[in-house]
């Protein structure tokens, strides 16, 4: 248990049986009446964002979220299997929990897995990853000067838009938050 005065960005609260992360908070002391805390909360599982106001000093239940560096091993049916790099324990994580992160996961890649009481909550990737283009249409002569893009399939099977001059077997840096092309990587 903590009070609303202890809230910080990233704190995980347990409200009505659900876990919410504090995205931002603001302590407000109006001229009349009692102080209060205005917060923006994000549901850990669904990603839904809500605004919520608490009276100052109100007791709130905090949840213990354990974030660990884990290595992605393989996909087993609908589960993705991760290994704790310290204890070598293996943790199966459901496809729904992995979500869009699956578009950028390669075997042996290190990621952050957040758990609460042993239950996986989400998988956090680094801000960008380097992946190889496995297929893209060849660029035409003269296309190199224009700012056009074309679809390219990455080694994970995910498709992104890349500049026209890129060819298959080129390594590219991809933003894991929105799947955008960040640049070519030279070996």
Q: What is the 3-state secondary structure (H, E, C) of 154-165?
A: ECCCCEEEEECC
Q: What's the pLDDT score for residue 74? A: 92
In angstroms, the CA 45 to CA 29 distance is: 32
Q: What's the pLDDT score for residue 115? A: 87
Please say whether the beta carbons of 131 and 123 come within 8 A: no
The pLDDT tens digits for 99-127 are 888 899 988 999 999 888 888 888 888 88
pLDDT bucket at 142, cuts 50 / 70 / 90 = low
Q: What's the pLDDT score for residue 144? A: 57
Question: Domain boundaries in the chain?
Answer: 2-60, 66-124, 128-185
What's the predicted TM-score (pTM) here? 0.71
User: What percent of the chain lies above the pLDDT cut of 70?
Assistant: 95
Q: What's the pLDDT score for residue 23? A: 86
66-124 matches 2-60 in CATH topology: no
Tokens 């992946």 belong to residue? 131
Please say whether the beta carbons of 144 and 164 come within 8 A: yes
Virtual torsion, Cα 154, 157, 161, 164, nearest 10 deg? 50
- Name, of 68-72, 118-122, 123-127, 183-187, the range with top average pLDDT: 68-72
Fold topology of 2-60: SH3 type barrels. (2.30.30)
Q: Which CATH superfamily is domain 128-185 in?
A: Nucleic acid-binding proteins (2.40.50.140)
Write the class of the CATH domain 66-124. mainly beta
Please state the φ and ψ torsions of residue 156, each to the nearest 5 degrees: -85, -10
46 has a pLDDT exceeding 80: no
């Amino acid at each position: 248990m903590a009070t609303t005065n202890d809230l910080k960005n990233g704190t995980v609260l347990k409200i009505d049986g659900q876990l919410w992360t504090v995205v931002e908070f603001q302590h407000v002391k109006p001229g009349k009446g009692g102080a209060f805390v205005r917060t923006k909360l994000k549901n850990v599982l669904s990603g839904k964002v809500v605004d919520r106001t608490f009276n100052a000093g109100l007791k709130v239940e905090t949840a213990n979220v354990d974030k660990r560096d884990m290595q992605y091993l393989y996909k087993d049916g609908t589960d993705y299997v991760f290994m704790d790099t310290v204890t070598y324990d293996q943790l199966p994580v459901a496809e729904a929990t992995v979500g869009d992160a699956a578009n950028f996961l390669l075997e042996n890649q290190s990621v952050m897995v957040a758990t609460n009481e042993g239950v996986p909550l989400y998988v956090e990737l680094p801000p960008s990853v380097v992946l190889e283009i496995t297929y893209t249409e060849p660029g035409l002569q003269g296309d190199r000067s224009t700012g056009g893009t074309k679809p390219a399939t990455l080694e994970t099977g995910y498709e992104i838009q890349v500049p026209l001059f890129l060819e298959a077997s080129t390594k590219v840096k991809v933003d894991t938050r929105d799947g955008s092309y960040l640049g070519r990587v030279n070996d």
